[in-house]
């Protein structure tokens, strides 16, 4: 197995590098500066040199609000990039593993989304990620699309790190309490991805779309409350700020967010034996390691 990882400097990309080293998987991890997935000729050159059996596309334009201002850039990375990868993977019999998002759904279902539920994104980010999925499906049958949500880690820009930084300098935090989802550690996503990759050569391997997210659905308010609690326990902040719960209407943003974007991980469990991690345990371990 030879794995090419795009977006190596992202949250999931960095964890994939570590897991490949730990598992002694032959891999080449490239940042956006080393491999621009919007450049078809550059991708082709890399593939001809490295000849991977699997590409894990962890590259994405993930700033949801910024995507509203720069839809062309979001489309280029999130839609055209996967299309470029899929076209080359199809010609060279390479498995394309693509990371997608819960934001392909509108959040109106009120219960966890399954893979066969109809997507209906309500912002530019979700729209471009869905276009990326559709482009892959139109060009190759040899793919895994993994939708996940609310990614957190000790690297990159994410909600956990933002809350911890705000807690060091603010006595009061106002956090949205009516958007519900599934926090998911980047490390658990990387583990799930590589578990599926290891099953690639098996006769029972089933390509397609899968959901994977942390277990226990919570609001951003609940997530923030747990973050500051663990941070205080581990001495990373001096005191716990007052956290006020507000509604989405009290916190206007450039992009609309789904109110309930929880994902069911039932299919990935039945197919690959992968069960969701408890995000609270992942968070506690992550913060204790920071200490």
Residue 175 β-bridge partners: 245
Distance of CA 1 to the CA centre of its chain: 23
Distance of CA 146 to the CA centre of its chain: 8
Q: What is the DSSP letter of 238?
A: S
Q: Which of 103, 125, 210, 260 is the catalytic position?
A: 125
Q: What is the DSSP letter of 103?
A: G
Q: What is the CA radius of gyration of the chain?
A: 19
Closest CA to 217 of 110, 117, 130, 96: 110
For the question of residue 125 being annotated catalytic, the response is yes
CA-based max dimension of the chain = 57
- SS3 of the chain: helix, strand, coil, percent, to 5: 45, 20, 35
| Strand ranges for the chain from DSSP E | 2-6, 26-30, 54-57, 95-101, 143-148, 151-152, 172-176, 180-181, 184-185, 208-211, 218-219, 242-246
Catalytic (active-site) positions: 125
């Amino acid at each position: 197995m030879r794995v090419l990882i795009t977006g190596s400097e992202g949250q999931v990309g960095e964890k994939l590098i570590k897991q490949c080293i730990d598992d002694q998987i032959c891999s080449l991890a490239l940042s956006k500066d080393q491999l621009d997935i919007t450049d078809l000729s550059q991708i082709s050159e890399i593939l001809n040199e490295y000849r991977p059996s699997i590409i894990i596309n962890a590259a994405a334009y993930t700033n949801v609000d910024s995507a509203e201002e720069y839809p062309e850039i979001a489309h280029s990375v999130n839609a055209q990039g996967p299309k470029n990868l899929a076209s080359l993977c199809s010609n060279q019999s390479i498995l394309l593993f693509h990371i997608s998002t819960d934001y392909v759904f509108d959040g109106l279902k009120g219960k966890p989304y399954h893979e066969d539920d109809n997507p209906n994104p309500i912002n530019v980010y979700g729209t471009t990620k869905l276009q990326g999925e559709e482009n892959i499906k139109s060009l190759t049958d040899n793919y895994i699309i993994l939708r996940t949500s609310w990614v957190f880690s000790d690297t990159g820009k994410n909600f956990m790190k933002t809350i911890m930084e705000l807690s060091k300098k603010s006595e009061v935090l106002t956090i949205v309490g009516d958007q519900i989802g599934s926090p998911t550690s980047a490390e658990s996503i990387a583990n799930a991805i590589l578990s599926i990759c290891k099953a690639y050569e098996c006769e029972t391997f089933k390509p397609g779309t899968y959901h994977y997210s942390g277990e226990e659905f919570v609001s951003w308010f609940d997530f923030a409350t747990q973050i500051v609690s663990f941070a205080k326990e581990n001495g990373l902040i001096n005191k716990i700020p007052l956290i006020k719960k507000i509604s989405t209407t009290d916190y206007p943003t450039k992009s609309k967010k789904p109110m309930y974007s929880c994902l069911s991980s039932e299919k990935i469990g039945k197919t690959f034996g992968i069960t969701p991690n408890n995000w609270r345990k992942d968070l506690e371990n992550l913060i204790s390691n920071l200490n």
